A and B are shown apart, each in its own frame.
Chain A
Amino acid sequence: MRDPIAKRVSGMKSSGIRKFFDIVSEMPDAISLGVGEPDFDTPWHIRDEGIYSLERGQTFYTSNSGLMELRSEICRFTRSHYNADYDPATETLITVGGSEAIDIGLRAMLEPGDEVIIPEPSYVSYVPCTIMAGGEPVILSLKEENEFRLTASELEEAITPRTKILILPFPNNPTGAIMERSDLEGIARLCIEHDIFVMSDEIYAALTYKGEHVTIASLPGMKERTILINGFSKAYAMTGWRLGYACGPKEIIGQMTKLHQYCIMCAPTISQYAAVEALKHGDRDVEEMREAYNERRRFLLHEFERMELNCFEPYGAFYVFPSIKEFGMPSDDFCTELLRAKKVAVVPGTAFGDCGEGFVRISYAYSIESLKEALGRIEEYITELRNK
């Protein structure tokens, strides 16, 4: 029989997280700090709106781009919160999570051989989506001494005449790093100078703990070369609703809509109605969850300091990314051994790129009680390693 599988797919590396997930699922009694989604339930008024939409029988397709009411709310929100102005009719597309927007955005924009600069450590889908779209990933390794921010000089070094897109994944999963206005200005200057487009994945925008989140799309000259990606998963604890969106120049959004139309048709209707409610009346929920995350973030950092575990202070998302270099073991082994010896799951930094070696991702999307229990075990583990 012929090989039923396309080589470009069989050749694709499966996610490093997947491997770890398989180990963990054999240990049902393990406790985990390995989850990349909020521990909060979707606020009840938002769920209620989803239920009402079912009751009213709003169970048909929406337009390909998504409900106009939702797109309008997204544009109002993006204008008032992030100072970026988009037209709901032509510059906004509702997608199935931010993930779909990443995929179809890259597919809409890349010619074979175009280079995409991907700062790592970062979310697992940028590289495979770039490859599937025919582009060439150019990995840019972020550094701990820069708090894992992207600096203009690092970017300048990675740019070639073939560079077409820069992925800008901040606030960052897995490091928790953010980019402030002054950081973004240098990046924007280079993108304009070299005619590079930016895919700004801002899914964690609402979870920023130092000043207000700034989108690169709001900087002068950047709106026309930025695809802004956001969604409802992290801010409103709506991961399972699968709803995200992309805002950008109408030429790009138009072509993305074409791809979206053929592979998805439209994002889930019930989720779209719930999301309207989230944007209209969800600000307070977001603020409360953000405050809770921030308390846990301070708590974790304080505990690490006490344990003398080296960790830079991250100001975004719900992750800390401590260094485990002092133990002289690969992140993978560190995590596997921690899981085996103490039954605590954290994710090796290498799951997010080779330069994540020497780090682990710890999520604080857990109650303080759960964090305490897990940290106690981690402390036992590292004390044993140090005394070896």
Chain B
Amino acid sequence: MSEKDIKEMRMSILKAIEHDGRVDLNELGVRLGIDATDIANAMSDMEKEGIICGYQTLIDWDKTDDERVTALIEVRVTPQRGQGFDSIAERIYKYPEVDSVYLISGGFDLMVIMDGKSLKEVSQFVTNKLSALESVLSCATHFIMRKYKQGGTVLAKKHEDERMLVTP
């Protein structure tokens, strides 16, 4: 396979598995017209290269008994000499409660998304841990009330096929 073919194959695989990590590789091979072994090899290469970083499950926790709350926290920080935002971001993302950390352009610097068991737990984390960090100037915490769409999937309502059963 030429380098261009490999690139194209990788893109097709990534597009296919981005929203369906559990796809059967033989079936994917049929759909893409690529040998399943080639797909498996390409995926393992991309895992090693850190292009594929993991395979997750999208769960709507609201439909379970789990009482978790998700918060989105805007953090303003003072960048550190020679390190920029990397070192403070690292201090934040090392907390297991933290789900995502993004460096953001605009009115604040880091956006932190975290899950907590309760409002209280999140508040305590923000007050005791996040705000206490030396370079953190301020935090604005937003609690997520309802997830309509996540990772490209609509959680709010199921899509129904509204077409007639038979049409010419």
Contact = CB atoms under 8 A, between A and B. Distances in A.
Interface string A274-290: 00000000000000000
Nearest to A15: B168
A36 interface: yes
Interface string B136-168: 000000000000000000000000010111111
B53 interface: no
A77 interface: no
B81 interface: no
Contacts of B167: 17, 21, 34-37
B27 A299 contact: yes
B14 to A, nearest CB: 13
A34 B165 contact: yes
Contact of A21 (B16, B30, B161, B166): B166
Contact of B165 (A30, A298, A302): A30
B9 to A, nearest CB: 13
Interface in B1-28: 16, 27
B31 A295 contact: yes
A312 interface: no
B23 to A, nearest CB: 9
B166 A35 contact: yes
A21 B165 contact: yes
Nearest to A17: B168
A30 B30 CA distance: 27
Contacts of B163: 35, 37, 39
B31 A20 contact: no
A237 to B, nearest CB: 11
Range of interface residues on chain A?
A: 20 to 34
A299 B30 contact: yes
A15 B166 CA distance: 12
Contacts, number: 50
A258 B27 CA distance: 53
Interface in A194-230: none
A351 interface: yes
Interface string A1-30: 000000000000001010011001100001
A35 B31 contact: no
B106 interface: no
Interface in A345-379: 345, 347, 351, 368
A127 B166 CA distance: 20
Nearest to A346: B166
B30 A302 contact: yes
B40 interface: no
A32 interface: yes
Nearest to B28: A295
Nearest to A21: B166
Interface in A118-150: 123-124
A296 interface: yes
Contact of B31 (A24, A36, A299): A299
B10 to A, nearest CB: 15
A37 B167 CA distance: 8
Interface of B: 16, 27, 30-33, 161, 163-168
14 contacts: A15-B168, A21-B167, A24-B166, A34-B167, A35-B163, A35-B165, A35-B167, A124-B168, A173-B168, A298-B33, A299-B30, A299-B31, A302-B30, A368-B31
Identify the 6 closest CB pairs spanning chains A and B, nearest first.
A295-B31, A34-B166, A32-B165, A302-B30, A21-B166, A36-B167
Given A21-B165, A37-B167, 8 more contacts: A21-B166, A32-B166, A35-B164, A35-B166, A36-B167, A36-B168, A173-B168, A298-B32
